[in-house]
Amino acid sequence: MREKLEQIKTLALEEIVKAQSMQELEQVRIKYLGKKGELTAVLRGMGGLSQEERPIVGQIANEVREAIENSLGSAVEGVKAIEKNARLAVETIDVTMPGKSQEIGHRHPLNVVLDEIKGIFMGMGFKIAEGPEVETVFYNFDALNAPQNHPSRDLSDTFYISEDILLRTQTSPVQVRTMERSKPPIRVISPGRCFRRDTPDATHSPMFHQIEGLVVDKNITMADLKGTLDLFAKQFFGVGTKTKFRPHYFPFTEPSAEVDVSCFKCQGAGCRVCKGSGWIEILGAGMVHPNVLKVCGIDPEVYSGFAFGMGLDRIAMLKHEIDDIRLFFENDMRFIKQF
């Protein structure tokens, strides 16, 4: 019986070594250790042994079982590793094949730029005000101190709905509405669509966008205006950006200024974007004219304020080097998806 057990052990271990797959190993296990297996058969035959022999043979049988089980265990590990490696080899893919694209929609480039500008001014404590695109002559011109005979009021420059109603030519009426509605301190920007009777070409569009800003409070100075716009320019165009305030004339503000920023493409050295000057004009600004404050029921002896405005389309064009304003409104997907 002892020999029989040793023989089983030798044979089983040999077969385990020969086995190449999990299936073969399983067969070996069943052949020797299964319910009808050879080792099991031997153990069953132990009943015929003497009291003395039984423990000794039992011990040997257990050793044999253990040896087979251990051998099987490590063989299984080995075969598993081989099989896994084989599977990995088979599953190799060409990782340079195209990805499965997940389409993400794009924001319109004007709104991409607008969002950035809104964020900067919100950080400086500005709220966002909106107003109607169809406006009254009063809000668009009269309340803004525009002279009665100002050419911008002409039918050739402004779209009219009736004698008193027009398409706003600027977002400044929103400022008047804001001042009428709320008491200082006021700090708002008003972005929106504007309309002027320009025939479309590469740089003109009868519909365009402005962002205007308004601050009204006690002790607001022109120095504050300079500081606010300088900070904006540095945040939007880069920390190294410089600003230049040049005197200008707007009916709505006095003193008024045109504001240049140092060219963000060439840092002022002169390039195509700034037409060699090193500066780009981007803003109109000034101290709110006392007449405008008065019209809105704000006492100019107590409060002062500043206002500024910029063309969103122009800024987006400069920033992204877009050479034709009409692209914004054609909505060719190949254009919008670049942003």
User: 139 to 158, contacts with another protein by CB under 8 A?
Assistant: 149-150, 155-156
Query: Closest separation between CB of residue 310 and another protein, Å?
Result: 18
Query: Contact between 116 and another protein (CB under 8 A)?
Result: no
Q: Can you state the angle between helices 222-237 and 109-123, rounded to 10 degrees?
A: 130
Contact residues for 62 (Cβ-Cβ < 8 A; gap 6+): none
Query: Contact between 208 and another protein (CB under 8 A)?
Result: no
Using CB under 8 A, pick the residue from 51, 247, 297, 323 that binds another protein. 247
State how far the Cα of 222 lies from the Cα of 254, in Å rounded to an integer.
10
Query: Contact between 329 and another protein (CB under 8 A)?
Result: yes
Contact between 206 and 307 (Cβ < 8 Å): no
Query: Contact between 97 and another protein (CB under 8 A)?
Result: no
State how far the Cα of 128 lies from the Cα of 261, in Å rounded to an integer.
24
For another protein, which is the closer residue by CB, 51 or 149?
149
Query: Contact between 325 and another protein (CB under 8 A)?
Result: no
Distances (CA, A) of 302 to 136, 185, 214, 221, 306: 28, 12, 17, 13, 14
Using CB under 8 A, pick the residue from 64, 113, 215, 283 that binds another protein. 215
- Count residues near another protein (CB under 8 A): 78
How many Cβ atoms sit within 10 Å of the Cβ of residue 20? 11
Peptide bond into 255 cis (omega under 30): yes
Interaction with another protein in 8-37: which residues (CB under 8 A)? none
Query: Contact between 269 and another protein (CB under 8 A)?
Result: no
Interaction with another protein in 30-69: which residues (CB under 8 A)? none
Three-state DSSP state, 53 = helix
257's enclosing H/E stretch is strand 253-262
Map residues 273-312 to x or -, x wherever contact with another protein holds by CB under 8 A: --------------x-xx-------------x--------
For another protein, which is the closer residue by CB, 71 or 175?
175
Query: Closest separation between CB of residue 267 and another protein, Å?
Result: 19
For another protein, which is the closer residue by CB, 12 or 257?
257
Contact between 45 and 101 (Cβ < 8 Å): no
For another protein, which is the closer residue by CB, 71 or 210?
210
Using CB under 8 A, pick the residue from 3, 103, 321, 323 that binds another protein. 103
Distances (CA, A) of 99 to 61, 96, 102, 181: 59, 8, 9, 54
**DSSP codes, 167-201:** E-SSSHHHHHHHHHHSPSSEEEEEEEEEE--PPP-
**End-to-end Cα distance, the chain:** 85
309's enclosing H/E stretch is strand 304-311
Query: Closest separation between CB of residue 225 and another protein, Å?
Result: 9
Query: Closest separation between CB of residue 57 and another protein, Å?
Result: 51
Query: Closest separation between CB of residue 123 and another protein, Å?
Result: 6
Distances (CA, A) of 82 to 29, 77, 85, 88, 306: 19, 9, 5, 10, 77
Interaction with another protein in 174-193: which residues (CB under 8 A)? 185, 187, 193
Using CB under 8 A, pick the residue from 104, 239, 297, 323 that binds another protein. 104
Query: Contact between 214 and another protein (CB under 8 A)?
Result: no
Query: Closest separation between CB of residue 147 and another protein, Å?
Result: 8
For another protein, which is the closer residue by CB, 25 or 261?
261
| Residue 172: HSE in the Cβ half-sphere, 13 Å Cα cutoff | 29
Using CB under 8 A, pick the residue from 26, 142, 224, 324 that binds another protein. 224
